[in-house]
Structure 1
Amino acid sequence: MPTPREPSPKVPADRRPGVEEAEAVLVEHYGRLVRLAHLVLPPALGRHRRVVTAHTVVQDALPRTPAAPRPQDGDAAGDGYVWIRERVLRTALRHERRRRARPYPRLPVVLGLRLSPHAGGAGELALSRALAGVPAAARAALALRLLEGLADDETSAVLAAAGVADPNAALAAAAGLPGLSDGSARVLLAADEFDPSRVQLHPTDLLRRRHRARAAATAAVALLFAASTLTAALVTSDRDRTADDAKPAAPAQPAGSSYRSDPATLRSAPAGKWADTTRLDLTAWPARGARRGDRALLGRALRAWAGSGEAKITTAPGASAAAPTSPPQLLYAADVDGLAVVLLLDAATDRVARYTEPSAGARPALAVARSDDAGVTTAAALVLTRDPGRARYLLAPWIAESGTRDLLRPAERTRPLTPVDGVTPPVPVPSDGRSCASWPVLSLRSSELIVEKHAFLVTDLGELAPAHLTHTPSPDTGTPSRQPREVTGRTALESWARSACLLADLRGDGVRAVNDWVYARQTLPDGAGTATWVCTRADTWRGPGGVRVQFQPPAAAGPPRPGTVVAEREDTAACSRFGQHVVAGARWRSPGGQWYALAAGSRHIVRIRLTGGVSAQAPGPVAAVRAAPATPVRVTAVQSDGATLAPPG
Structure 2
Amino acid sequence: MRAAVLMTMRRQYADLVRLAYLALDDGRTPAADLLTTARHAVRQAARATNSPAYARLRHRLIVDILTTAPRHRPGPLFFEPAPDEPGPVREQVRRLSHHERLVYLLCRLEDLTAPEAAAELADHLLVNAWDVDRTLQDIDAATDLDAQAQRAELRAFDPTLVRLRPPPALSRRGRTAIVLAIVAVAIVSFLSYGRYTTSGKAGDPVTVAANVWRRGYAPSLNDWPTQGAQRGDRALLRRAAQAWRNDRRDPPLGPVSIMYAGNVDDATVVIMHDAPGTRDSPMVAQYFERRLSRGVESIRGLGIDSGQFIMIGTTWRYLVPPWISDISAALPLLSKPYWHPVGVRDGVTDRLPWRWFDPDCQTYMVFQMQYRPAPLPPRKITLFASPTPESGTPLIWFRDPDPHREGTGFTGEPGQWATIRAVACESVTSLSDVGDLRVGRLWSGDLPDDGGRATLTSIDVSVPWGTTGTAFLIGEDGRVLTGGGTTNSDYASAADAIAGTVWWRSSSRWHVIAAAGPGIAALKVVGELGEQEARRRDGSGTLLIATGPSVHGKSPQLTRLPVVRVIVYEPDGDRTLIDPG
TM-score norm. by structure 2 comes to 0.62
Q: Is the 8 A contact 2:485 2:503 kept in 1?
A: no
Question: 1:267 and 2:187 equivalent?
Answer: no
What is the deviation of 1:60? 9.2
Which residue is equivalent to 2:420?
496
Question: 1:340 and 2:295 equivalent?
Answer: no
The one of 638, 643, 646 aligned to 2:569 = 638
What is the deviation of 1:464? 6.2
Which residue is equivalent to 1:67?
none
Which residue is equivalent to 2:183?
none
What is the deviation of 1:596? 2.4
Question: 1:417 and 2:417 equivalent?
Answer: no
What code does the residue aligned with 1:564 have? T
What is the deviation of 1:394? 1.5
Q: Distance in 1 between matches of 2:20 and 2:374?
A: 37
Name stretches of at least 5 consecutive residues in structure 1 with no aligned partner: 1-19, 36-47, 62-86, 97-107, 109-113, 132-141, 156-169, 192-196, 212-256, 315-320
The one of 518, 531, 553 aligned to 2:454 = 531
Which residue is equivalent to 2:395?
468
Matches within 5 A, 1:299-310: 299-305=238-244, 307=245, 309=246
What is the deviation of 1:342? 0.8
What code does the residue aligned with 2:574 have? A
Q: Distance in 2 between matches of 1:269 and 1:414?
A: 32
- Could you list the structure 1 runs, at least 4 aligned residues long, displaced by more than 6 angstroms after superposition: 22-25, 32-35, 56-61, 123-126, 142-146, 176-179, 202-206, 429-434, 447-453
Which residue is equivalent to 1:324?
254
What is the deviation of 1:636? 0.7
Question: 1:356 and 2:322 equivalent?
Answer: no
Which residue is equivalent to 1:29?
15
Q: Distance in 2 between matches of 1:561 and 1:372?
A: 29
Which residue is equivalent to 1:560?
478
Q: Distance in 1 between matches of 2:381 and 2:293?
A: 39
The CA deviation string for residues 92-144 of structure 1, in whole angstroms up to 9 with x for no partner, is 69x99xxxxxxxxxxx9xxxxx9875559xx9999x9xx9xxxxxxxxxx999
The CA deviation string for residues 26-58 of structure 1, in whole angstroms up to 9 with x for no partner, is 4553446889xxxxxxxxxxxx99964744699
Cα 1:57/1:464, change in 2 over 3 Å = closer
Q: Distance in 2 between matches of 1:50 and 1:646?
A: 45
Cα 1:415/1:187, change in 2 over 3 Å = same
Q: State the SS of the aligned residue for 2:484.
A: strand
What code does the residue aligned with 1:589 have? R
What code does the residue aligned with 2:506 have? S
Q: Is the 8 A contact 2:194 2:209 kept in 1?
A: no
Q: Distance in 2 between matches of 1:395 and 1:333?
A: 13
The one of 352, 372, 384 aligned to 2:312 = 384
Q: Is the 8 A contact 1:351 1:369 kept in 2?
A: yes
Cα 1:502/1:639, change in 2 over 3 Å = farther
The one of 529, 547, 550 aligned to 1:626 = 547
Which residue is equivalent to 2:155?
none
What is the deviation of 1:399? 3.7
What code does the residue aligned with 2:399 have? T
Cα 1:124/1:467, change in 2 over 3 Å = farther
Which residue is equivalent to 2:499?
583
What code does the residue aligned with 2:544 have? A
Q: Distance in 1 between matches of 2:40 and 2:252?
A: 22
What code does the residue aligned with 1:605 have? I
The CA deviation string for residues 411-442 of structure 1, in whole angstroms up to 9 with x for no partner, is 24212233333322332689999833874222
What is the deviation of 1:521? 2.9
Q: Distance in 2 between matches of 1:24 and 1:356?
A: 52
Q: State the SS of the aligned residue for 1:304.
A: helix
What code does the residue aligned with 2:272 have? L
What code does the residue aligned with 1:383 have? M
Cα 1:584/1:182, change in 2 over 3 Å = closer
Q: Is the 8 A contact 1:584 1:599 kept in 2?
A: yes
Q: Distance in 2 between matches of 1:486 and 1:560?
A: 17
The one of 68, 82, 88 aligned to 2:54 = 88
Q: Distance in 1 between matches of 2:461 and 2:467?
A: 5
What is the deviation of 1:259? 3.9
What is the deviation of 1:405? 0.6
Q: Distance in 2 between matches of 1:57 and 1:451?
A: 30
Cα 1:439/1:546, change in 2 over 3 Å = farther
The one of 473, 482, 495 aligned to 1:551 = 473
Q: State the SS of the aligned residue for 1:500.
A: helix
Matches within 5 A, 1:206-221: none
The one of 113, 121, 132 aligned to 1:184 = 132
Q: Is the 8 A contact 1:499 1:563 kept in 2?
A: no
User: Whose Rg is larger?
Assistant: 1
Pairwise CA RMSD of aligned residues? 5.4
Question: 1:604 and 2:519 equivalent?
Answer: yes
What is the deviation of 1:551? 1.8
Which residue is equivalent to 1:246?
none
Cα 1:464/1:292, change in 2 over 3 Å = farther
Q: State the SS of the aligned residue for 1:444.
A: strand
Q: State the SS of the aligned residue for 2:459.
A: strand
Q: Distance in 1 between matches of 2:483 and 2:374?
A: 41
Q: Distance in 2 between matches of 1:92 and 1:452?
A: 34
Q: Distance in 2 between matches of 1:454 and 1:182?
A: 25
Q: State the SS of the aligned residue for 1:287.
A: coil
Q: Distance in 2 between matches of 1:358 and 1:415?
A: 31
Q: State the SS of the aligned residue for 1:386.
A: coil
Q: State the SS of the aligned residue for 1:485.
A: coil
Cα 1:447/1:143, change in 2 over 3 Å = closer
Q: Is the 8 A contact 1:355 1:367 kept in 2?
A: yes
Matches within 5 A, 1:471-486: 471-472=398-399, 475=401, 482-486=405-409
Cα 1:49/1:509, change in 2 over 3 Å = farther
Question: 1:402 and 2:327 equivalent?
Answer: yes
Q: Distance in 1 between matches of 2:287 and 2:513?
A: 52
**Length, aligned pairs only:** 456
What is the deviation of 1:522? 4.9
Q: Is the 8 A contact 2:217 2:375 kept in 1?
A: no
Q: State the SS of the aligned residue for 2:417.
A: helix
Which residue is equivalent to 2:299?
367
Which residue is equivalent to 1:516?
439
Q: Is the 8 A contact 1:638 1:645 kept in 2?
A: yes
Question: 1:506 and 2:452 equivalent?
Answer: no
What code does the residue aligned with 1:369 have? G
What code does the residue aligned with 1:413 have? Y
Cα 1:623/1:456, change in 2 over 3 Å = same
